Structure 1
Amino acid sequence: MKQNFKQLLKTAAFVLLVLTSVKTTSQAQKTDYVFGDAMPDAPELAPRGEYKVGVRTLEFVHKGQVDILKSKAGVDPLYDRPLKVEVWYPANLAENEKEAVLYDQVFGVSNDPKRPLIPFKFPGRAARDAKPRTDAGVFPLLIVSHGYLGSRYLMTYLTENLASKGYVVVAIDHTESTYRDASPFQSTLLNRGKDILFVLNQMAELSKANSKSFLAGLADANNTALIGYSMGGYGVLNAAGAGYSQQAIGLFSALTGGSKAIEVRSAGNAEYAASQDARIKAVVAFAPWGMQRGVWDAEGLKGLKVPTFFVAGNQDDISGYEDGIKAIYKGTINSDRYLLTYMNARHNVAPNPPPAEAFIPEHARDYFHYSEPAWNEKRINNINQHFITAFLGIQLKQKDFGKYLSVQANSNEKNWTGFPPRSSVGLELLHEVPVK
């Protein structure tokens, strides 16, 4: 009896030790977690790559642009359009330099008293103003466009991750479309594609070998991919070749009192045709907007010819799914394209998880700006990292990642390559090749 009692005490002590250890580990993970860190169930390509990451802020000015917010009776004045961008890049860190940064962000809406701007900071894994890595050749360029509303920090889980895998990643603060300067929708409609192409040109200049920028010889603008979410998805599709429809011109004209400034980005327009840029090799479009509003039609979607990876939730109530994102996927018949679908997800399949500051009832609307009701946002982030690493690795780096995309369409039927056992559930991956 005494022996059994002693054994029971030992067992109880062991269980207590394990529980204490689990609690301590859990607390450490909660404290140490940074958006984008690989969770235990992360698929194979989600973890960060071999490079340390630096980050810098740049400011550009796009001169002589239509100031659509001041357009009257079809007369479009011009202005110099400022654009702030964040650049993540492979870096050489000094011995005492830490791969740690605090991003300065807000949520809320600048012109909505019911949703005041709330400042917050969140940590990242990058070194502010670190020296670039100059001994590993040039790196492909990625340009990232946020949603409406959003900011250049909306997808740091992805921008940092891709920089660690050997890309120069630049995310744009689209003027008049961020939390801090929310403005009427017509500015976003007009400027997305134009902003993206302007930033591509700026990055190309700064990356020339004789440039005095830290980017000199670092980024290969001739090997560029575009990544966009929601209105950013709308923008990257247009920048890469999908022209807007005549219905889109009518919608824009109605919003602006007669302006047709968006016509220069429409299918069949000579200026738009001349703007097609061979440096763009691939596109990633998260939940692209516009199909339900007639922004896209068959003729315009035929213009997208570069490989494209679409990401969607099949319950998307902003961009739509069957008659929205999936219809765009089906209509881009000249593109080698994929559609990754999160079953039961709505629109928020791209951003960072909600910040802690939004975890209170009075900020519920802002919490739902980031969250997915049926999914864990950290898991979505890891899955996105995995598939975008595979897709861009194939398109821009000629990596042998095809097995990660050659999977059975329904993830519930067979565990997908690269996923831990029993973990690839609730997903669908479709693939279509260009028509001949």
Structure 2
Amino acid sequence: MIPRFPQFRLIFVGVLIAQILLHPFSFAQGFVYGDALPDAPELSARGEYKIGVRTLDFVNKDQIDILKSKNGVEARYDRPVKVEVWYPAALSAEQSELITYEEVMGTANDPKRPLIPFTFRGRASREAAPLATAGAFPLVIVSHGYVGSRYLLSYLTENLASKGYIVVAIDHTESTFRDAAPFPSTLLNRSKDILFVLNQVADLGKPGSTSFLSGLVDAGTTGLVGYSMGGYGVLNAAGAGYSETFAKAFGGMTGGSQALAVRTSGNVDYEKSIDPRVKAVVAFAPWGMERGVWDVESLKGLKVPTFFVAGDQDDVSGYEKGIKAIYIGAVNAERYLLTYQNARHNVAPNPPPAEALQPGLPFDEYYRYAEPAWDERRLNNINQHFVTAFLGKYLKGADYAKYLDVPEKSNEKTWTGFKPRTSTGMELLHAEAEK
């Protein structure tokens, strides 16, 4: 409702026009996940590139099928891995940078949470021609939670692609909404999927390949982003080997399988698998520390710059003895820990879809996405800001230090890049590598 008094009406109209100019997406087409709110920090804004998106299917041949292995006898299978790729694109005037993604709520094989299809919009163009004249872009690989999907962090994947990255988000087989299976598959395959995808995309990106990615991918400069079980995976892929205690526990839950031993700290094959192309890691609410996944020695294997994001009330991954303990223990990595005060575990995903608000649905369909004390759209914008600063610094050499070197407590002084009075309820810790 427009105020009755003329002077207020002029102010109202002026503010409305300003918001339309600053946030044309939101007013012209309705809010889309990842759009900047009026209080969004500076680096959350989309970058200079229009973006395209494509789906690719890979097959990792002759892998251990841990769900069918019994009594120490390993079954094998060709493991399918689907990915979504966002990339800088050359859009014609007729092409719309607006897309509809198809997703599901619920969890496969759980009769209490049947799969419910829904759609949501994004800002990309399906099958658009790549921007071939721009050279190679750093690669970012994204790993979702359990359960989840390659679309779970689309607000971030699209945003990064618009800033000049090739962003590849994985559907981890047997770990998605559509095909959820028992947990051992996720425990075994997370980091293996990530490294497999890195190799596949690197091959497609080589000059002279027949892929649309030919010449576009600088796989030698790769960042990993993971949420929850994705955080568990990216940390292991980057050098934080699992503890021997955890490998033994995995054997106990799988009838004696030793399959996880190859991903443990000190294992020769594991040490060989650590890929020097991985230059930086972002771990949202990484799971596992409270369950003995890592110990003091195994965390020392993480040596690449790492940005942790957590809620100090996380009741899934834990905070003091969970995520913060990983941050403290990773002494050989330069690292940051961004903490959202009073947030729980959902510090990374898209906002809840409209369909999750329908009465009669299980509460967990809404709470798979939502936070009790934070607006998810606000979290999304802050994540865009800090991930842009961190990856920009370590993958592109951008001068973003001022956005990362801020007072520890956000309530003490407005953080650089935030509008006055908007950087509240957060903490950012920073520690240099000891070696």
| TM-score, scaled relative to structure 2 | 0.95
CA distance in 1, matches of 2:54, 2:432: 38
2:188 is paired with a residue of what secondary structure? helix
Correspondence 1:26-425 to 2 at 5 A:
29=27, 32-363=30-361, 364-425=363-424
Query: Shift of the alpha carbon at 1:362?
Result: 2.6
CA distance in 2, matches of 1:122, 1:426: 29
Per-residue CA deviations over 1:241-294 (Å, capped at 9, x if unaligned) read 000001111221121111110100000111101101100000000000000000
Query: Shift of the alpha carbon at 1:237?
Result: 0.2
Q: One-letter code of the match for 2:416?
A: T
Q: One-letter code of the match for 1:106?
A: V
Per-residue CA deviations over 1:23-72 (Å, capped at 9, x if unaligned) read 99899749611000011100010010000000000000000100000010
2:212 is paired with a residue of what secondary structure? coil
| Equivalent pair of 2:51/2:125 in contact (CA under 8 Å) | yes
CA distance in 2, matches of 1:135, 1:207: 14
CA distance in 2, matches of 1:337, 1:17: 48
Query: Shift of the alpha carbon at 1:186?
Result: 0.1
Which shifted more, 238-247 or 21-30? 21-30
2:44 is paired with a residue of what secondary structure? coil
CA distance in 2, matches of 1:270, 1:187: 23
1:195 is paired with a residue of what secondary structure? helix
In structure 2, relative to structure 1, the CA distance for the partners of 1:402 and 1:21 (3 Å cut) is closer
Query: Shift of the alpha carbon at 1:21?
Result: 9.7
Query: Shift of the alpha carbon at 1:360?
Result: 2.3
CA distance in 1, matches of 2:116, 2:308: 32
Per-residue CA deviations over 1:203-241 (Å, capped at 9, x if unaligned) read 010000010000000010000000000000000000000
RMSD: 1.9
Query: Shift of the alpha carbon at 1:94?
Result: 1.4
In structure 2, relative to structure 1, the CA distance for the partners of 1:23 and 1:413 (3 Å cut) is closer
Alignment of 1:428 onto 2:427: yes
Query: Shift of the alpha carbon at 1:196?
Result: 0.1
CA distance in 2, matches of 1:419, 1:208: 39
Aligned residue pairs, count: 427
Identical aligned pairs, as a percentage? Answer: 66
Q: One-letter code of the match for 1:350?
A: A
Which shifted more, 357-366 or 214-223? 357-366
1:131 is paired with a residue of what secondary structure? coil
| TM-score, scaled relative to structure 1 | 0.95
Query: Shift of the alpha carbon at 1:13?
Result: 6.3
Query: Shift of the alpha carbon at 1:17?
Result: 8.4
Query: Shift of the alpha carbon at 1:14?
Result: 6.7
| Equivalent pair of 2:26/2:32 in contact (CA under 8 Å) | no
2:89 is paired with a residue of what secondary structure? strand
In structure 2, relative to structure 1, the CA distance for the partners of 1:16 and 1:391 (3 Å cut) is closer
Q: One-letter code of the match for 2:209?
A: S
**Structure 1: gaps spanning 5 or more residues:** 1-9
CA distance in 2, matches of 1:131, 1:60: 21
Q: One-letter code of the match for 1:370?
A: Y
CA distance in 2, matches of 1:207, 1:422: 44
Q: One-letter code of the match for 2:188?
A: L
1:70 is paired with a residue of what secondary structure? coil
1:69 is paired with a residue of what secondary structure? coil
Q: One-letter code of the match for 1:204?
A: A
Q: One-letter code of the match for 1:429?
A: L
Q: After TM superposition, what 4+ stretches of structure 1 lie above 6 angstroms from structure 2?
A: 16-28
Query: Shift of the alpha carbon at 1:19?
Result: 7.2
CA distance in 2, matches of 1:138, 1:21: 43
CA distance in 2, matches of 1:133, 1:11: 50
**Structure 2: gaps spanning 5 or more residues:** none
| Equivalent pair of 2:26/2:35 in contact (CA under 8 Å) | no
